[in-house]
Structure 1
Amino acid sequence: MSQFIALLERYQAKLEQQYGRLLNQDIRRAITDMLHCKNDVNRTTQWHCGHCQHDQQLPASCGNRSCPQCLHQTTSNWLVKQTDKLLPVHYFMVTFTLPYQLRVLARQHPKALYQLMLQVTAGILKDFAKRENKGSLGFTSVLHTHNRRRECHPHVHIIVPCGRYNAVKKQWCKSDKQYLFNEFALAKVWRARVIDAINQSAKLTMPTDTPKKWMVDCRKVGFGASAFKYLSRYLYRGVLPDKDIINLSEEMVTFKYKESSTNMTKVRTLPVLEFLWLILQHVLPKGLQRVRDYGFLRGNAKQLRLQILLILGGDISTMATPVKRKRAVCICPCCHHEMHFMGLSRLRN
């Protein structure tokens, strides 16, 4: 069992007592799922060995994207999928960060705020590209809700290939690999559009102490593979891996993290209940799509990407060949051959 889930099970009653007013429906659902993950006799996976005919039942995973025990295959498959779409060009990562004064909205109305952030950032990049009149962009947006200390820190990372595709001329327009868009101009538009969107929202209310300067970071990230690997770390395997929890006591939890400015390993120690809430506040609302592809990187644009790859003189064999996705594997305890998954069984009460 995950160390985080073990703590959650042990301190559930105290957590409810201290933070109950902050636990929304999505967080409560995640808690229930995690406590039953690989621990529910009423939900089992059925496996059969074709070599020795052995049958086996195993407790089923909960499948909740906030669960540290689940969806590791999903993370690997997403990374393979994004790597398969890489073009032989330089890439940029643009990061739009929400000021801390607005982070209270993330706790009050997470779905409305995060949807707004993803929509606004995508619109900004499309409009900046449109002004240059060189063609359309392709990009992938990923919502992150925390910093390395695991505090509430909503921001959107966007991976952008260096170049545009002109659909009318069927041409690839090269861009300056040293420059995508002006960061200060992006930041001004980011601030103006978020404020405007919040003022028009029926759920969100703009705080009175909104800062004048907002942060947008735009930097080169090579040929893209390392950037996608970085983004995949926290997508589908919980906020904090067990390996980063380095000490547990009756009342305190210590975990390690890498400081972004120095890349040095730091440690943070918190009371158990405060630690549990620190992680649980990042449970995403049900139905929120935190990863979105646009333009020629969207899922149904494979033929367009093949055409761009041909224009760029790249190797189309890897993109044309279907990529094998990793799947769950169970090894037979009797003959050590790979077993076949037969389905999920649910017992009714």
Structure 2
Amino acid sequence: MKFIDILRDHLHEFNQRYERQITPSMRQAIQAMLSCRTNTQRISQWACQSCTHTADFPLSCGHRSCPQCQHNTTTDWLAKQQAKLLPVEYYMVTFTLPFELRVIAKHQPESMYKAMFSVAASVLKDFAHNSKQLGGDIGFTGVLHTHNRRRDFHPHIHFIIPAGSFNKDKKQWRKSKGKYLFNAFNLAKVWRARLMEHLTMQLDITLPASIPKKWVVDCQHVGKGLPALKYLSRYLYRGVLPDNNIISDIDGQVSFEYKDSQSKTTKIRTLPAVKFLYQILQHVLPKGLRRVRDYGLLRGNCSKLRQQIQLMLAVAGAVFPLVAKVKRALATRTCPCCHQPMCFMGIHQNGLGNSRPTSLTITA
């Protein structure tokens, strides 16, 4: 069962039920997914290597919310992040937006998510500078998730942080020891104060009357960095719910499975089809909003400094993790006549066979 099939079958009822809640970004995502691999302006041209058979195929929509696209984008991101891995312990720090402020995130997602990123990043940088163990510049990668495992609206940002800092004055790398990075309760206090000040003073947003005094920030040791990166990459560019998690669509009721974070067991959730569609589409991000951001030593313009740090660690005897090279999935087609592999010839405009082909990477 595919999400796009459910969307196509129940689109009319969904539009009627959620007309006021559907944002322009949602409509763009819906249009892209419904045309994915079915009706595109450009098509890929293939030719059999053993016989004379040729065939044209529509391209993928490429939308980041589409569950059947963007595999290569995820692969590329993971490969770039793997190149930045350091032979140190890693931590995952998660900043969660409290329930009372989520209505603001729904109505002003771009402003709220940008504020969450900037405030949380400033908190981490300041804690690192004031830390007795670190006392320098750190690097970290933030990934925005807008849902929990049940796919409810639950905005939070995961930050992956290598436990070490660089002192620019001494040109020294300082490695954090033990299984402790920052105090989560102190992080939560500063996170609450700074975000509320940012929303009211800089964005002029009126906050709800009742806001909890205790916010949630989680800081946990995750060992090496690669498993954490792979965890974060699951939902980056391939939609909120993978198609293989959808179990059934029977009598207007859609069931999907998820892994419960508390019991670690697989559970099934069933919703009316139109509610299920909104449950997934409410997580479509505004166009142009970056879901992933690198800070400090992990920024793109710090590549030379990272290489120096990696060299310093190697000279000091650190053993770098052996990371298997991430391979891109190549598109393949099989000839329907002789069942032999077909060769990709290029991409041309739909209906304009004499157009000049272009060499683009496509998703099968």
> What is the TM-score when the length of structure 2 is the normalising length?
0.88
Per the alignment, do residues 104 and 155 of structure 1 end up closer, same or farther by CA in structure 2, a change over 3 Å counting? same
Displacement of 1:176 in angstroms is 2.3
Once residues 206 and 4 of structure 2 are traced to their aligned partners in structure 1, the CA distance between those partners, rounded to angstroms, is: 35
* Aligned twin of 1:174: 175
Once residues 113 and 317 of structure 1 are traced to their aligned partners in structure 2, the CA distance between those partners, rounded to angstroms, is: 37
Alignment partner of 1:343 is 2:347:
yes
Displacement of 1:43 in angstroms is 3.1
| Among candidates 330, 333, 340, match of residue 331 of structure 1 | 333
Once residues 145 and 202 of structure 1 are traced to their aligned partners in structure 2, the CA distance between those partners, rounded to angstroms, is: 21
Give the gaps of 5 or more residues in structure 1: none
Contact 1:258 1:265 in 2 (8 A): yes
Letter in 2 for 1:326: R
Per the alignment, do residues 47 and 136 of structure 1 end up closer, same or farther by CA in structure 2, a change over 3 Å counting? farther
Contact 1:48 1:342 in 2 (8 A): no
Letter in 2 for 1:131: N
Contact 1:51 1:335 in 2 (8 A): no
Contact 2:87 2:319 in 1 (8 A): no
Alignment partner of 1:38 is 2:37:
yes
Query: Please, which moves more after superposition, 306-315 or 208-217?
Result: 306-315
Secondary structure at 1:38 match in 2: coil
Letter in 1 for 2:346: M
Count residues with an aligned counterpart: 345
Give the gaps of 5 or more residues in structure 2: 353-364
Secondary structure at 1:121 match in 2: helix
Letter in 2 for 1:119: S
Query: Please, which moves more after superposition, 295-304 or 157-166?
Result: 295-304
Once residues 47 and 167 of structure 1 are traced to their aligned partners in structure 2, the CA distance between those partners, rounded to angstroms, is: 54
* Aligned twin of 2:214: 213
Query: Please, which moves more after superposition, 310-319 or 24-33?
Result: 310-319
Query: Please, which moves more after superposition, 192-201 or 87-96?
Result: 192-201
Contact 1:306 1:316 in 2 (8 A): no
Once residues 125 and 292 of structure 1 are traced to their aligned partners in structure 2, the CA distance between those partners, rounded to angstroms, is: 14
Letter in 2 for 1:255: F
Contact 1:84 1:318 in 2 (8 A): no
Displacement of 1:251 in angstroms is 1.4
Once residues 142 and 219 of structure 1 are traced to their aligned partners in structure 2, the CA distance between those partners, rounded to angstroms, is: 16
Letter in 2 for 1:103: R
Query: Residues 225-277 of structure 1: CA distance to partner in whole angstroms, max 9, x if unpaired?
Result: 11111111111111111111112202101111111111111111111111000
Displacement of 1:11 in angstroms is 1.0
Query: Residues 266-322 of structure 1: CA distance to partner in whole angstroms, max 9, x if unpaired?
Result: 111111111000000000110001101112211232222221111111578989xxx
Displacement of 1:54 in angstroms is 6.0
Alignment partner of 1:245 is 2:249:
no
Once residues 81 and 311 of structure 2 are traced to their aligned partners in structure 1, the CA distance between those partners, rounded to angstroms, is: 18
Once residues 119 and 273 of structure 1 are traced to their aligned partners in structure 2, the CA distance between those partners, rounded to angstroms, is: 35
Once residues 53 and 315 of structure 1 are traced to their aligned partners in structure 2, the CA distance between those partners, rounded to angstroms, is: 54
Contact 2:87 2:320 in 1 (8 A): no
Per the alignment, do residues 324 and 38 of structure 1 end up closer, same or farther by CA in structure 2, a change over 3 Å counting? same
Contact 1:63 1:71 in 2 (8 A): yes
Secondary structure at 1:20 match in 2: coil
Displacement of 1:124 in angstroms is 0.8
Alignment partner of 1:278 is 2:279:
yes
* Aligned twin of 2:60: 61
Contact 1:332 1:339 in 2 (8 A): no
* Aligned twin of 2:193: 192
Displacement of 1:328 in angstroms is 3.9
Query: Please, which moves more after superposition, 139-148 or 165-174?
Result: 165-174
Per the alignment, do residues 345 and 117 of structure 1 end up closer, same or farther by CA in structure 2, a change over 3 Å counting? same
* Aligned twin of 2:84: 85
Contact 1:329 1:339 in 2 (8 A): no
Contact 2:49 2:340 in 1 (8 A): no
Secondary structure at 2:300 match in 1: coil
Displacement of 1:175 in angstroms is 1.0
Letter in 2 for 1:78: W
* Aligned twin of 1:105: 104
Secondary structure at 1:229 match in 2: helix
* Aligned twin of 1:294: 295
Per the alignment, do residues 300 and 315 of structure 1 end up closer, same or farther by CA in structure 2, a change over 3 Å counting? farther
Contact 1:46 1:345 in 2 (8 A): no
Query: Residues 138-178 of structure 1: CA distance to partner in whole angstroms, max 9, x if unpaired?
Result: 10000000000000000000000011011222211011231
Letter in 1 for 2:56: Q
Map 1:107-146 to 2 at 5 A. Answer: 107-132=106-131, 134-146=135-147
Letter in 2 for 1:311: M
Per the alignment, do residues 343 and 174 of structure 1 end up closer, same or farther by CA in structure 2, a change over 3 Å counting? same
